Chain A
């Protein structure tokens, strides 16, 4: 009789659990059936004291089983409700990820900075110091120490901006060579990238302000063969492909012999095209063995040390790398240009 009422109670509870529509209804069932105080099962177990030990043991087992069944059903039903609730909550958190993220995008380094850094890293990896020199120079460092005395026609090769107070705007990065020789211990390897100035009218291919990278290596027994090897290695790294170079005579008072270095045209590879003006070669940079007068001027004994020097046109390289057709863009500050790099 007790068995029956337990089973009936359990069956009823299970049915109500199955039919509960909300977590609250489910909780009501739990309290009604399993509640410690006044729960239906608790009420039944109260009357168990009157039973014989055997009967009590048996009914106890039945009671326990019913309780477990109900608890299991309650937990399962509760988990279902929770899962649904979580799903609903997550669903309500839907985000449109096609909306642009707020905040600024990454900005852009100036193209000259980019190429300059690339070259700085390359030279540092080859053991070269990166030196800085002033943009306003004295005549001594810009000209005299480089074997270009006053009234030398070579001064016409570089139209100069003269400043109040007798100084000038450096016309090349070569004066940093002189400062390097004054400062660094021998043997030395150095580059000096920087801004230079020439008094020239500005058009799509001429600027009064542009960037150069001066390089110099001074050691015992430096030869033209070393210069050739070095320039080939350097330019192969710069252009990221095998480069064929040639030297031909060029006059720069601070080197002797002096060269113009050409590279085989990277567009046509030699047969000739509009870029190389059909010659197969593109003039790239001046270089040479450091003139002994220049060494002596900086306190270096040309009988013991010699070296090579070169001047790379950074601006020109940038224009070649990105096919920039108007040099004025580089100092124009126009974001529509700068954001492309």
Chain B
């Protein structure tokens, strides 16, 4: 929200700080300022002049004018405005001499837009006086930082902060004594006071609708609002001043003399000021007359009862609505207005009549001759008493970590319009002002902030907390993930991070069903609508991107797979995915080695290749008797060029299984013996099967079975050699015993139809 410096200064007459230093003070004590914008800068040297003569310039749409700038004398000015004519009064700004259309032009005749008064740039401003229009500065406050402060959505609220910060007096623009007495000219019926705690209104006649006076247009323009007409502009002015959104209806276009505040009927239609039509339901609160909705409460007025050139009678609404109801409606129809933004912050019900009082004062200035009709219509439910908070000074000092004189605390709170009474020597009874009581301030902790920000947090000396010496609880899952990262990085793998979102095409490419995925209801872009249930599509994409620049690389990611559950939160399963890409060679064995480094004793069991896997190069990784991962090459169809080997390991499973406990056995003193065996196998038989067969034989004297090598034989066969080491911790094995073991193994392998060369 933008705040006009001059407007604030109207309420804090003692303000001497310029906008720059004021902005810094507001940032440190109240809310974050995002910057200052000069407005109406040209007004500084502008003056009203008489255009004495106008001559055409050959070959140009511009004209050459002679102006009378009073004490500054006569000047020649080139002007391009269609409305420029001799005898008019215009605004001249001395911005220097410049040749325009071959004529030296001294200064400029300015449009309202150039002066910053409005957005009108159709022609130069024709005006008799610009008295009172001076340069201003718009201080922009971050809306997020005043989310909790309904009062700071108007200039008077910000002025109160400024006055408190600087210790200056604050004036109040709302004079309640101006409100007319007597019966109202319109009735108000509120269906539910919870949804509409208060609805106040005034009726005016003899209204003239036309452009606003320049001071009003300038005020609105300088805070970024667009002047429309005098009546609408005044409602916007009051909103910007007092944070009270207002609405004006053309009274002659209303049906009946009662305004109803009720929930909409299901399917009820409403055409708004913005020419949009909305279909409403019972969650929407409407303002209605006898014929139907005339406004969507707190959000936008209706098109049919809008103020127009023909309007002569006006109903001026100043109401208060439940914040959450307005917010729901505004979110539901996706329409945020200056009014709804304010109401959803929980506005002060006491403010409705204050804004009407201010309207009574200002309307005659913007629509001369306007007349009040009747008294104030004011339907009001039971209003909550302002909260009273017990504030212990000792407790306050403990929270802030600084002692404070009770007088200082009292002064600060009173400057912010809290009422302070003594309960006992240590305790104040603090009454919250109505505009802070709706949602913002309710507990003593809120007062810590009020006092803290005003004394300035820089007045608090940092102090070391006293904390027990205790080792923090361990997080073994995270520890393990860090260890896995180290292992892979040390072995040449680079860590990537991918998004948690996948597209339907990604999911289908890996044979998964999009319907098995958690779906993002409001994705940021197409292709990001599913939550990843696999890290594969991400790493596949990384491979495809990086192979444009590299012939060979290794990457990995640790991230969560997200799988929906019937109820409750989805399962988030941490996975490791590693990829080795090479233009020619397969990285499968490198990844198999990595799997064995990560999972000592892991077994690689051949598996049926999935749709996206190389059909003859896929395996499962088993560890401690459980399936924990998969090793494969991507199907060549998935790759334009080169080979990508992938290892995918379920880290949650590994963490559950845990490492085998470390057990020491003394180093053997007795010598071991070894013998080699060569087995003839058919080419596609797995070398590992021999090993498994020997392992199944389970002779405790076998220390190890090591694969040595293999070589091809004719007729689609191969010879695979193993070295078997045998020994005993207690004795040296006699050769007969060794030979017996060897014979056993040979017999077992022959039983399995392997041919042995012995």
Contact = CB atoms under 8 A, between A and B. Distances in A.
Interface stretch (A42-50, A61-69, A72-80, A154-162): A154-162
Nearest to B324: A151
A151 B471 CA distance: 41
A225 B463 contact: yes
Contact of A251 (B145, B323, B461, B524): B145
A51 B471 CA distance: 97
Contact of B492 (A104, A130, A256): A104
A161 B562 CA distance: 15
Contacts of A197: 500
B678 interface: no
Contacts of A251: 144-149
Contacts of A164: 518-519, 521, 564
A153 B147 contact: yes
Contact of A136 (B27, B398, B458, B570): B570
B464 interface: yes
B401 A225 contact: yes
Contacts of B324: 150-152
Contacts of A232: 462
B404 to A, nearest CB: 12
A169 interface: yes
Contact of A201 (B446, B473, B496, B524): B524
A331 interface: yes
Interface string A190-215: 10000101011110000011000000
Given A136-B569, A260-B32, A224 B399 contact: yes
Given A134-B569, A136-B562, A256 B402 contact: no
Interface in B481-509: 482, 485, 488-500
Nearest to A132: B478
A127 to B, nearest CB: 5
Interface stretch (B187-195, B361-369, B550-558): B550-558
A341 to B, nearest CB: 9
Chain A binding surface SS class: mixed
Contacts of B458: 246-247
Given A107-B494, A249-B29, A335-B550, A208 B524 contact: yes
Contact of A292 (B445, B467, B477, B491): B445
A217 interface: yes
Contacts of A225: 400-402, 460-463
A151 B478 CA distance: 36
A119 to B, nearest CB: 13
Interface centre among A127, A131, A165 (most CB of B within 10 A): A165
A128 B472 contact: yes
B520 A223 contact: no
A150 B467 CA distance: 36
Nearest to A283: B32
Contacts of B545: 333-334
B226 to A, nearest CB: 24
B311 interface: no
B500 A106 contact: no
A11 interface: no
A201 B525 CA distance: 9
B521 A256 contact: no
A289 interface: yes
A121 to B, nearest CB: 10
A107 B469 contact: no
A301 interface: no
A249 B306 CA distance: 41
A316 interface: no
A169 B488 CA distance: 29
Interface stretch (A24-32, A52-60, A108-116, A268-276): A108-116
Contacts of A250: 32, 145
A138 B545 CA distance: 35
Contacts of B569: 134, 136-138, 167
A335 B579 CA distance: 13
Given A151-B327, A208-B524, A333 B471 contact: no
Contact of A162 (B463, B522, B538, B554): B522
Interface residues of A, number: 86
B524 A199 contact: yes
Contacts of B488: 107
Nearest to B490: A106
Interface in A306-337: 306, 330-331, 333-336
A334 B548 CA distance: 10
B470 interface: yes
B468 interface: yes
A103 interface: yes
A134 B572 contact: yes
Interface string A10-37: 0000000000000000000000000000
A289 B445 contact: yes
B475 interface: yes
A256 B448 contact: yes
Contact of A223 (B398, B478, B491, B494): B398
B495 A110 contact: yes
A284 interface: no
Interface in A78-111: 103-110
B91 interface: no
B532 to A, nearest CB: 10
Interface stretch (B127-135, B274-282, B449-457): B449-457
A249 B449 contact: yes
B388 to A, nearest CB: 18
B469 A127 contact: yes
Contact of B554 (A107, A124, A289): A107
Given A130-B472, A333-B546, A335-B549, A256 B489 contact: no
A105 B568 CA distance: 45
Contact of B475 (A129, A162, A219): A129
Nearest to A302: B445
Contact of B520 (A138, A161, A258): A161
A143 interface: no
Nearest to A245: B462
Contact of A334 (B402, B449, B466, B546): B546
A248 B27 contact: yes
B534 interface: no
B345 interface: yes
B485 A113 contact: yes
Given A157-B147, A257-B452, A228 B468 contact: no
A65 B477 CA distance: 81
8 contacts: A151-B323, A157-B144, A163-B521, A164-B564, A187-B468, A222-B465, A226-B465, A249-B29
Given A134-B572, A202-B524, A251-B146, 14 more contacts: A110-B496, A127-B472, A161-B523, A169-B520, A187-B467, A187-B468, A201-B524, A223-B401, A225-B400, A249-B145, A256-B446, A331-B497, A333-B546, A335-B494
A-B pairs, 7 with minimum CB distance? A225-B401, A104-B492, A223-B401, A257-B449, A151-B324, A229-B462, A247-B457
